[in-house]
Every structure is written in C-alpha cells, then in structure tokens.
Amino acid sequence: MSDSIIHSDDKAIEEAERYLAAQKRRENISLAIRYTILTIVGLIMLYPLIWLVGASFMTNEEIFGGVGFMPTNPVMDGYAEGWQTSTPYTFGRFFWNTFLIIAPKTICTVISCTVVAYGFARFDFPGKKILFAAVIGTLLLPNVVTRIPQYMLFNELGWLDSYLPLWVPSAFAGDAFFVFLLLQFLRSIPRDMEEAARVDGATSFQALIYVVVPMLVPAMISVGLFQFMWTMDDFLGPLIYISSVEKFPVSLALKLSIDTAESFEWNRILAMSVLTLLPSLLVFFMSQKYFVEGISAGGVKG
C-alpha cells in the first residue's frame, strides 16, 4: 500500500520534471528563434549604414568592385576631396551655416515652450481650454496647408534667403509637440515647492526660474535634443527659404553635390554623408536616456 503511494509519488514527480524540462526546452527554442530573427533583421537594417561608413574610406573603383564594407586599403580621398566641394566654399562653411540655424532655433524652442507649458500647467485663465485644444489640434495639422501663406508672409517681411523664417516661429512655441511634452513632465512635478516659494514672497516668474526649471532640466534637454536632430534633418524648410549657396546648410549642400558633376565621385558624397549623419548619431548615443524619456512621455514622430 504505502509502497504504491511512494511509487506513484515518484511517478508524479518524474512526470512533473518531464513537464518542466519540456517547458524549459520550449522556452529555449523560443529564445533561440527570437535571437535569430532579431540578429538577421538587425544586420539587414544596419548593413546600409555600416556599408556607408566603410565605402566612404574606399576609392571609387573599390566601391563599384564589390559589396563588402571593409576597405582593403582605407583612404581619406573621399573626405579630403568631398570637403572641398565643387562650390567656392568648403563643407566646413555648410556645417557652420547649419549651426547658425540650429543654435538659435533650439534655444528659442526650449525657452518659449517651457514658459508656455508652465502657463498651461500651473494657471487657470479665460480661454485656456480653447487654447489647449489648439495645441492638440496643431499636433495633427499637416504643415502642407500653412506653408504657402507663411512663405508669402516672410516674403513681405523681406526675410527670404535669411535664417529668420527658420528661427522666428520657434520663438513663439511653434512646435506644439514640445509644449505637449513639457506639459506631461510638469504634471508629474508636485507643486508644493512652488507654493512654498510663493508663500515666501517669490513671484510666479521667480518660482518658474528658481524652482520649476531646475526640476524640469531633463525634459528641457530632451526637447533641445529632439529639436537639434529635427533641425539637422530639416530639408524642405531651407530648400524653400534659402537660395544663395553661401548660406546653404549641409542638407542643401549634399543635395547640390549629387546634382552636380561630383555625382560620379561616389566616395566624396558618401564621405560627406557620413559627416552629415555624425552629429545626430553622436548626440543620440551620448544622451540616449533623454530620448527614451521623451518618447515614453509624448510618443514621437519619425
């Protein structure tokens, strides 16, 4: 009797172990499949970028010679010659122009959006609901319908072929997305410290500068980084507003180089493409955590 109980217990344990082993095996197989798919997809996705970097150190003959990404004899010709461009200016000039667009635009965006988000998050005022609905509405509004009259406005103001059309809207919190993102962060910051500061006699503006901003810095950095990358990538804006080559940012300069005789010199253009991507890539890797926070707070286009 007792023998058979022990016996069946053994059997049960054995069965349970077999079951667990099978489950473990299934999990391992599932993991192996997952890793295989992820690795293959990852390689296919990143290969164009790896090839781009490799090819930029090749001679043109080698680029047309095979699909490998390792240059057999790395040369800097592409960089040296591409940097000179077929225009009277070097690529350095175009990078400087890009900086002249990005720096004011990013600073204006961070300041104006912070101030506006603070107004929405901490105050009640007549018409707030309607204005906030406008923030959400413009998130979805396609730029394509406003672009033509904007161009006519900037034309009237005599701002064509200057960077003003690219900067000025951002000084008025023109990117609703950033207002929205900062607002999400502000909602999660408790008001106690601001209220304490107000009780001690600080104005609301002092509370903003000395209490809110220090806590909001990570979010403000996210905003700055996104604006940096989007402005770096912006092509249509400069294409419409900037017409003299001396004022071109890198995006226009790169397009110019594929339209001119240089287009046969693949290594020059690939080398300059690498340089164009480098700032965004560096910024992304140096500040990944801000991006992750920004994405999870607002959901992001791209």
Q: Among residue numbers 71 through 110, which ones bind other proteins (CB under 8 A)?
A: none
Binding track, positions 110-149, relative to other proteins; x by CB under 8 A: --x--xx-xxx-xxxxxxx--x--xx--x-xxxxxxxxxx
* Shortest reach from residue 251's CB to other proteins, in Å: 4
Q: At 210, give phi and psi (nearest 5°).
A: -95, -20
Question: Within positions 264 to 293, which residues make up the interface with other proteins, using CB under 8 A?
Answer: 266, 269-270, 272-274, 276-277, 280-281, 284, 288, 292
Question: Within positions 172 to 191, which residues make up the interface with other proteins, using CB under 8 A?
Answer: 172-174, 179
The answer to whether residues 272 and 254 touch, using CB atoms and an 8 Å cutoff, is yes
Q: Which stretch binds other proteins (CB under 8 A): 3-11, 76-84, 86-94, 227-235?
A: 227-235
**Could you write out the DSSP letters of every residue in 104-118?**
HHHHHHHHHHHHHHH
Residue closest to 111 by CA, chosen among 1, 205, 46: 205
Residue of 75, 100, 164, 171 that binds other proteins (CB under 8 A) = 171
Q: Which stretch binds other proteins (CB under 8 A): 8-16, 27-35, 74-82, 87-95?
A: 27-35
Structure tokens at 182: 């900062």
Structure tokens at 166: 């690219």
Longest Cα–Cα distance of the chain, Å, equals 103
Residue of 153, 196, 213, 286 that binds other proteins (CB under 8 A) = 153
What 278-286 contacts at long range (C-beta under 8 Å, 24+ apart), as own/partner pairs, is 279/232, 280/228, 280/229, 280/232, 280/233, 283/225, 283/228, 283/229, 284/229
Other Cβ atoms within 10 Å of 86 Cβ, number: 12
Q: How far apart are the first and last CA of the chain?
A: 71
Residue of 16, 20, 38, 40 that binds other proteins (CB under 8 A) = 38
Comparing CB distances to other proteins, the nearer of 6 and 258 is: 258
By CB under 8 A, is residue 254 in contact with other proteins? Answer: yes
* Shortest reach from residue 6's CB to other proteins, in Å: 30
* Shortest reach from residue 34's CB to other proteins, in Å: 5
Angle between helical axes of 288-298 and 176-187 (0-180°, round to 10): 90
Comparing CB distances to other proteins, the nearer of 38 and 196 is: 38
Residue of 49, 70, 80, 209 that binds other proteins (CB under 8 A) = 49
Comparing CB distances to other proteins, the nearer of 43 and 103 is: 43
